[in-house]
Amino acid sequence: MYERLEMTDWIDRAIQTRKAAQLTQFELADRMDATQGYVSNIERRRKGFTLDTVYKFARALGVSFNALYYGRETETPAVDGVPLLDPVSLAAWINDPTAEASQFIPCPKADRGARTFAYIVQGDAMEPAYKDGTIVYVDPDTEKAVGKNVIYIASNGRPSLRSFTKVDGVEYLKPLNSQYPAQEVEADAIYCGSVVASYKPE
């Protein structure tokens, strides 16, 4: 889980960027739809932060996530622009990766595949590993393997996040929560990819 980050060098860059733009903490907070106290606590390192926090600061300051967090632009947009998909848009995106997504969020995995997307876990079927609201990052170019957590779209069009397993050559999708039964993979189910990273937002 990527619940809290520890690298705080980006905060110094955020302060320098804010001052160079002649923005007060109040003005920056207004751009973030936050309070001056929130900005102050982050700048003084009095408040924990997540990837979402860094992303919000970057957007408000008009710089890329990579430039703010790493202090440089990286060769790939690994942390600045994977689509956040819902159950409806996921099916469309899998069929056409060029389809536009309404929202993009940073990804903590630098060596992700080019088609990696983010998906918000719904329900408790994958607890305790992934609680409701956890964001998982899924790479469609990663081959499915026993023990991997994967997303499949069933014939009814609904995606499911489950653990992939095999019994006597038959493929199953198994919830981590023992209250739910494993289900055999349908012949026409669509493999959407394997989970490569995850974190719980604030």
The identity of residue 4, as a single letter, is: R
Question: Do residues 200 and 135 touch, judged by C-beta distance below 8 A?
Answer: yes
Does residue 59 carry a pLDDT above 90?
A: no
- The secondary structure of residue 144, as a DSSP letter, is P
The ranges assigned to domains in the chain are 9-69, 82-199
Same fold flag, 9-69 and 82-199 = no
H or E element that contains 53: helix 51-61
Query: Is the C-alpha dihedral spanning 98, 55, 58, 56 positive or negative?
Result: positive
pTM of the model: 0.61
Token pair listed for 114: 């080019």
Question: What mean pLDDT is reported for the chain?
Answer: 83
- CATH fold, domain 9-69, is 434 Repressor (Amino-terminal Domain) (1.10.260)
Q: How confident is the model at residue 152 (pLDDT cuts 50, 70, 90)?
A: very high
Q: Is the pLDDT of residue 3 over 90?
A: no
16 φ/ψ angles, rounded to the nearest 5 degrees: -60, -40
Q: How far apart, in whole angstroms, are the C-alpha atoms of residue 4 and residue 201?
A: 9
Residue 51 has pLDDT above 70, yes or no: no
Query: Is-contact 117 83, C-beta < 8 A?
Result: yes
Quick: pLDDT tens for 162-189: 999 999 999 999 999 999 999 999 999 9
CATH number, domain 82-199: 2.10.109.10
